[in-house]
Amino acid sequence: MTLTTPITPEKDLIISIQNVRKTYRLGETEVEALRGVSIDLAKGEFAAVVGPSGSGKSTLLNLIGTIDAPNSGRVLLEGKEVFKLPDDARSRLRNEKIGFIFQSFNLIPVLNVYENIELPLVINSRIPPQDYKKRILAALADVDISEYAYHLPDKLSGGQRQRVAIARALAFDPVLVLADEPTANLDSVTAHKIIDLMLDLNQKRKVTFLFSTHDEKLMNRVKRIIRIQDGMLVS
């Protein structure tokens, strides 16, 4: 059975996933990670993909982030069918439009906070170098870690590292931020602060957030929950 989420006017869509299927080969066995999933994600949404391990959450985020390709179906970002684009055009679209926040932060240990945030700006062809500093300082201020700009990641707490990851994801003004279990490695107090921060940035910047999570603290705060099980959406 294919279950679709409510129809959203096309002009308001950031992402449209249409009857997507994804199969992986595990040894001699084929695993159906996604089985006919259709989702529309509108501008400014703050949504979570929820499901048990192996349900297809990470696969779905990888397809939306254009990191992995479906076996069939369509993935549209702002109306462009991304997997019909050449590899370099798809990479450019991802670098300009999508920010990523990872469970393990994925900060480069030999770079300080400022330099970590600068990285996605350097690979983003639409941002001139003279704008880097202004964007980095604004992102640092948004996540309230300006005083740590020249600290190395190993000198920061888990919550501070996640704030750096959020600043890095937002510095180039993406239309969509994808977050993989963003509170999984944080204590409950810090997790609540990070959720509050992301909600505030969602409202302030109007950027769309999509998470994968099984964290009840996050599920209770998001505005929309997309449930997935055995590679299919469930009501």
pLDDT at 52: 87
Closest Cα to residue 76, out of 12, 172, 1, 168?
Answer: 12
Percent of the chain surpassing pLDDT 90: 69
Residue 144 clears pLDDT 70, i.e. is over it: yes
Query: CA-CA distance, 63 to 22, in Å (whole number)?
Result: 9
pLDDT at 157: 94
Task: Identify the structural domains of the chain with CATH numbers, from first to last.
Answer: 10-234 (3.40.50.300)
Q: Give the model confidence (pLDDT) of 80-101 as tens digits.
A: 999 999 999 999 999 999 999 9
pLDDT at 71: 95
Characterize 117-151 residue by residue with b for buried, 16 or more Cβ atoms within 10 angstroms of its Cβ, and e for exposed: bbebbeebeebeeeebeebbeebbebbebeebbee
Q: Of residues 7 and 121, which shows the higher confidence score?
A: 121
Helix (H) or strand (E) holding 37: strand 29-42
Q: Give the model confidence (pLDDT) of 33-55 as tens digits.
A: 999 999 999 999 999 999 888 89
pLDDT at 76: 96
With the CA atoms of 195, 196, 198 and 203 taken in that order, what torsion angle do they form, in degrees rounded to the nearest 10?
140
Closest Cα to residue 58, out of 231, 235, 233?
Answer: 231
pLDDT at 4: 42
pLDDT at 104: 85
Under 8 Å between Cβ of 101 and 166: yes
Query: CA-CA distance, 96 to 104, in Å (whole number)?
Result: 23
Closest Cα to residue 118, out of 129, 105, 132?
Answer: 132
Q: Which residues have a Cβ under 8 Å from the Cβ of 137 and sit 6 or more positions away?
A: 146, 149
Residue 10 clears pLDDT 70, i.e. is over it: no
pLDDT at 7: 45
Mean of all residue pLDDT scores within the chain: 90
